[in-house]
Structure 1
Amino acid sequence: MDGHDSEDSKQSTADMTAFVQNLLQQMQSRFQTMSDSIITKNILNLFLLPLKINELEQSINDLRAEMGVEGTPPPASKSGDEPKTPAGST
């Protein structure tokens, strides 16, 4: 019986090893897929960010124009801390 139990034990160990290796490969594959997806989305967002900022600035300028606010700031200023003065009053 010892020989038979030893074979079963070896087969059990081999089955468990194969199962764990398969599980680890699946986890690694899923992790890689998620990682690639996150990186792709972040790169895409980095490229789209300037366009979104320009759209936001245009929307703000459109709203200011609708409200009749004059002296809208230029699209890109060097510092947000500069005092805003109405157009033509320097």
Structure 2
Amino acid sequence: MDVIEHFKHQGTLFFASNVSYMLRFAELRGATAEQLLEEARLKDAQNFLKNTQFRVDDIAVKLGYQNSANFICAFYRWTGITPSEYRKSLEQPKHAFDAK
């Protein structure tokens, strides 16, 4: 087997073992590693929105999103509301009787 064929074979084995690992991880955790990472980032986003005055653009950068549009879409998919709506909801009273 020449050098190129050797590396092709090794790459195939590496890819197959990674796929097997990722499938097993997802089976054990109920989610892929990527999904768990995304959830952790979005929980951090909620924390930033709740406890800081950082702009949404700045939070997106801090959490490693390419741009704020990607961050806003991910946040919306996860929560059903935009980051700005989430922040505004924190300012509203939780119960009608608290509004007095």
TM interval, short-chain normalised? 0.3 to 0.5
Q: Larger C-alpha radius of gyration, 1 or 2?
A: 1
Give 1 or 2: higher helix fraction. 2
The TM-score with structure 1 as length reference comes to 0.34
The TM-score with structure 2 as length reference comes to 0.31
